[in-house]
Amino acid sequence: MARRGLLALFLVLSLSQTNAQQQLQRYNIDPSKTTVSGISSGGIMAIQYHFAHSTRVHGAGVYATVPYMCGFGGVAAATTCMSTPNLVNIPFLISEANAMASQGYIDNPNNVQGDPVYIYHGSQDSVVRPGSGPNVREVYQHFGARIVSKFDIASDHAQPTNNYGSACGSSAENTAWISNCNYQGAFEMLNHLYGGSLRRPDGNTVANGDFILFSQSEFFNFAPSLSSMDTAGYVYVPTGCIDKTTPCALHIAFHGCVQNRAAVGDVYARRAGYLEVAELNNIVVLFPQTIASTLLGNPNGCWDWY
C-alpha cells in the first residue's frame, strides 16, 4: 500500500456497525497512543512503519521477524536475513537507516529513543531462524528503544497464545500461524507498549465490541490489487470506544504471509489474542489486509520488505 494511503487509513479510523464493507467513521483516538505490531513479514512491516513514521508511532511489537533494512538488497538479502542471521551486518543496517533519514525518506530514527519495543522469537522457528530475534534487538538497542524480548519459548514460526493454535513447537501452518504455548503473547506485547498496567484477559473475557469489515479501497486512487492489497480489512472497536467520547489507544496489527483474509478469513484477527486485551483496555485494533498477487511477485500475500 502507498505510504500516503497507509497514513490516511490509520489516522481516519472510520467504520460502521454492519458486516458489509463500510467506509470509516471517526473515533476518539489519542495520537500519543499509536503503536504497531506484526508477525513474520508483518513484523518487518511494523518495524518499517515504526521507523518511517517515528514521530507519530510510539512503540512496536514483533514476532518471528528480521531487523529493519535487512531485506533491502532484494531476495538474496532477504533469504540471508531469514536463514543465516549470523551473517547479517548490523552496523550496515544501522547506517542504512540513518542514510534513509538523511535523504528524507523516513523520520529521524532518533525518535525511536525511549519507545517501548517488544520482540518475540520462538527457539524452534524453522522459517525465520531464531538468531533473527537478537538482531532485531541489536538494531533497536542502538537507537535507544525500551526493549522487552522473549526468546526462550520452544515454538516454531508462530504467534503464541494461551488458548488457540497448534501445539507449541509443532508447525502452525494449519492454524493460521498461531500456536498455543500457554503464553499470552498479545497481552505481554501490548502491556509493554502501553506502560505495564493493562488488565489481563482471563478465560471469562469476551470481546463484545464491534468487529467490522471496513473498506480499504477509499485510500487508493486506483485498484488496491495493484499494490497487492485487499479491498477490505478488519477493525475492532472495544465497547468502551464505541460512543466516540472515551479517549482510546490505536494499535495496528500486520498479519504475516498466508495469514491474510483471503487465506485464513478472520482467524488471525480474532484468535491471535488481540481482541480480549483491546476490550479490557480501550484499544482500537486495526488489521489491514493484503492479497496474493503472482503478477506482482507476491504469491503468499506478504508485506513488501525487500
pLDDT tens, per residue, the chain with 306 residues: 444 455 545 545 433 334 578 888 889 999 999 999 999 999 999 999 999 999 999 999 999 999 999 988 888 889 999 999 999 999 999 999 999 999 999 999 999 999 999 999 999 999 999 999 999 999 999 999 999 999 999 999 999 999 999 999 999 999 999 999 999 999 999 999 999 999 999 999 999 999 999 999 999 999 999 999 999 999 999 999 999 999 999 999 999 999 999 999 999 999 999 999 999 999 999 999 999 999 999 999 999 987
How far apart CA 45 and CA 201 sit, in angstroms, is 27
Question: What's CA 53's distance to the chain center, in Å?
Answer: 14
How far apart CA 65 and CA 128 sit, in angstroms, is 7
Which pLDDT value is given to residue 1?
A: 41
Angle between helix 132-142 and helix 90-102 axes, rounded to 10 deg: 50
Which pLDDT value is given to residue 73?
A: 82
User: Is there a contact between 236 and 17 (Cβ–Cβ < 8 Å)?
Assistant: no
User: Is there a contact between 151 and 133 (Cβ–Cβ < 8 Å)?
Assistant: yes
Which pLDDT value is given to residue 74?
A: 85
- Residue 50's Cβ-count burial label (10 Å; 0-12, 13-18, 19+) is buried
Please report whether residue 137 resides in a domain.
yes
Q: What is the pTM of this model?
A: 0.93
Neighbours of 253 (CB within 10 A): 27
Dihedral sign for Cα atoms in the order 117, 43, 242, 279: negative
How far apart CA 110 and CA 122 sit, in angstroms, is 29
Please report whether residue 275 resides in a domain.
no
How far apart CA 4 and CA 264 sit, in angstroms, is 27
Please report whether residue 12 resides in a domain.
yes
Specify the 3-state DSSP secondary structure of 29.
strand
Q: What is the CA radius of gyration of the chain?
A: 18
Grid coordinates representing 35 are: 503503536
Please report whether residue 90 resides in a domain.
yes
Residues facing 298 on adjacent strands: 293
Please report whether residue 28 resides in a domain.
yes
Per-residue burial over 108-129, b = 16 or more CB atoms within 10 Å of its CB, e = otherwise: ebebbeebbbbbbbbeebebbb
Q: Provide the domain limits for residue 181.
A: 3-215+250-269
Specify the 3-state DSSP secondary structure of 34.
strand
Q: Which regions of 165-305 does DSSP assign to beta strands (E)?
A: 166-167, 178-180, 210-215, 232-237, 248-254, 283-287
How many independent structural domains does the chain possess? 1
Please report whether residue 233 resides in a domain.
no
Dihedral sign for Cα atoms in the order 119, 122, 127, 128: positive
Which pLDDT value is given to residue 23?
A: 83
Please report whether residue 220 resides in a domain.
no
How far apart CA 256 and CA 64 sit, in angstroms, is 10
Please report whether residue 198 resides in a domain.
yes
How far apart CA 247 and CA 31 sit, in angstroms, is 10
Catalytic residues: 40, 125, 157
How far apart CA 20 and CA 37 sit, in angstroms, is 26
